[in-house]
Structure 1
């Protein structure tokens, strides 16, 4: 495993292997799902960016009930032709990065899903907002809290809804743990640990370019621990401390590109979190929540494939979907078209909080001091 792509492929192998399996097969195991075919509104999506993750979302949309892939925005004509063949996208719904504002005149597209490198999130999300279509943007929303705030403000000004690609907020095992915590099964929460990472490969990729990524591992894999700590503990942190480990390769991990950071967060209730974000170690993918009367663990915690989880009461009962992104898009369609409220927020305000925490982590690394947080 020597690249992000290999990392994603390995963690997502089970999901991708069943990408064409009907999600209804999974859904029939869920007691709340009706046997009646869906007959409600469908979110018609244009994907911007057809790299590795864009392709995963496209495949997931094939099995979606409430969302459908209808358009594509890309600067790669040959790839676009392949997408048109695979997904039946008509010529009138094909755009490039120079003309995609013309989507405002296309009544067959409801939302634009921005899946491009971090440094393009702000300019492209703001341009997408001017089309009058809803905007879904991958995380992190911006390279820092200011960029994230600018995107939120731009979408509000344009009068469009903004969602962020927090797929784990809809993942059944995560939601089962949150439900158990809310029911008091674990008692008062005392501790959380969130570890994520892999050995990154190609040194020329944009994720190892500070200007394009906004940092290093914290901007890519660290955000899972930042966000996971918040929804697992059920609070927003009030302080952060952090330490950067010595770099194994200063050519690959240049100034401003972190390889490994450990960071700690404190919460109003007194709970604490200890987290790790790394581009230097494989097999790092675990959440652990500990309360006064019980505990819950996810291992793996963030991969695309089925997650594994248990608590002090035994194995988690929730069934993992074939593709997390299918559930994500179904649920996002419900939010955008029907006004549904998710268990864990996936809006721009949620993303701003994560960006503020990541900014504070970098500040704590630089200063060696505890950084106080004000997230609301």
Structure 2
């Protein structure tokens, strides 16, 4: 059996505001659903984030962890015991196509290195199961579109792990913006970064990660600029800085600054880095006011303020709310405030492709999302 690990080694050589609760009730908190409408999920990739999702799902009302897919037999055994998963719902990376014949699994959450997403999601789709994929959904927009097309061809849904799209502080700022409370939006700043450790990890391997910081933490500022401003950008410029070429090899970005232009006239200035800590901030400025999230995208608690004062919103476990909301999307065709489908992810991938092109050419790249 070829495990994901062996593949990698080969390649490597609090009081809630009423508006927020209304949003959550509309999109994520419907708990009156019958047991036969529970989304039954298998997690593929039993690493650190897979574990975080599994723990969060213990508190879900609409989604349940029922299966696992891993290349490491010992992890499967451990998860079986910890989460009471039956043997018939356990698979490895070679045989998981057999989920096609398992009526007890509705969806597979793919939480593996970026370079594996395309093949694995397409296999899930061909098995007739809904796919949830971690972000970035693929290595580039072409791959992402192929994943979208495969899921459509097999009549299954494709969702992406944009957990912030269900986070209460984030949703409250979006509500305020939609209500015109900030006036005309003029500027957004997104700072996303941390100092990465182990130089041999898959996130610093181009074949598995597709790049460097941009493919991991930078996507938060890309996606955040879109949902905070409420528009899709029409152009991008970008500049790359690399101070440690030994750690950050060819094709693995260390730090990228990028700028986005939006059709309404707003501009965004963002930073993605693997070499600086304390960078997790979103700032939105308009003619009537401002909004800030600090931290903006960490696992929590998220904190925010506007020109009207501190945001009062519930503190939630992001993955719990996300999975309950995704159950509603998959089972009941519910519509989230901010999309989390494959098409949404392809837009981010088109922007990432353009950022890398802008870094290489120093050109302003026009975007058609």
TM-score by length of 2: 0.92
Once structures 1 and 2 are overlaid, which stretch shifts more, 29-38 or 356-365? 29-38
Please give the alpha-carbon distance, in whole angstroms, between the structure 2 residues aligned to 1:89 and 1:308. 36
Residue 37 (structure 1) shift: 6.1
CA RMSD between the two structures? 1.9
Residue 317 (structure 1) shift: 1.7
Q: After the TM superposition, which segments of 4 or more aligned residues of structure 1 sit over 3 Å from their partners?
A: 25-39
Q: What is the number of equivalent residue pairs in this alignment?
A: 349
2:294 aligned to 299, 311, 320, which one? 299
Q: What is the CA deviation profile of residues 208-241 of structure 1, one whole-angstrom value per residue up to 9, with x for unaligned ones? A: 1111111110000000000000010000000000
Unaligned runs of 5+ in 2: 1-14
- Residue in structure 2 matched with residue 78 of structure 1 by the alignment: 74
The reply on whether 1:342 has 2:336 as its aligned counterpart is yes
The reply on whether 1:148 has 2:144 as its aligned counterpart is yes
- Residue in structure 2 matched with residue 131 of structure 1 by the alignment: 127
Please give the alpha-carbon distance, in whole angstroms, between the structure 1 residues aligned to 2:54 and 2:139. 25
Secondary structure in structure 2 of the residue aligned to 1:68: strand
Residue 50 (structure 1) shift: 0.2
Secondary structure in structure 2 of the residue aligned to 1:174: helix
- Residue in structure 1 matched with residue 266 of structure 2 by the alignment: 271
The reply on whether 1:257 has 2:268 as its aligned counterpart is no
- Residue in structure 2 matched with residue 204 of structure 1 by the alignment: 200
Please give the alpha-carbon distance, in whole angstroms, between the structure 2 residues aligned to 1:213 and 1:39. 38
Secondary structure in structure 2 of the residue aligned to 1:58: helix
Please give the alpha-carbon distance, in whole angstroms, between the structure 1 residues aligned to 2:346 and 2:304. 29
Secondary structure in structure 2 of the residue aligned to 1:263: strand
Please give the alpha-carbon distance, in whole angstroms, between the structure 1 residues aligned to 2:105 and 2:366. 43
Please give the alpha-carbon distance, in whole angstroms, between the structure 2 residues aligned to 1:47 and 1:237. 33
- Residue in structure 1 matched with residue 213 of structure 2 by the alignment: 217
C-alpha contact 1:27 1:33 (8 A) present in aligned 2: no
Q: What is the CA deviation profile of residues 156-179 of structure 1, one whole-angstrom value per residue up to 9, with x for unaligned ones? A: 111111000000000111000000
The reply on whether 1:193 has 2:186 as its aligned counterpart is no
Please give the alpha-carbon distance, in whole angstroms, between the structure 2 residues aligned to 1:66 and 1:212. 32
- Residue in structure 2 matched with residue 17 of structure 1 by the alignment: none
The reply on whether 1:289 has 2:271 as its aligned counterpart is no
- Residue in structure 2 matched with residue 176 of structure 1 by the alignment: 172
Unaligned runs of 5+ in 1: 1-24
- Residue in structure 1 matched with residue 92 of structure 2 by the alignment: 96
Residue 248 (structure 1) shift: 2.3
2:326 aligned to 326, 332, 343, which one? 332
Please give the alpha-carbon distance, in whole angstroms, between the structure 1 residues aligned to 2:66 and 2:31. 21
Distance 1:38 1:184, change over 3 A: same
Please give the alpha-carbon distance, in whole angstroms, between the structure 2 residues aligned to 1:298 and 1:359. 27
The reply on whether 1:363 has 2:350 as its aligned counterpart is no
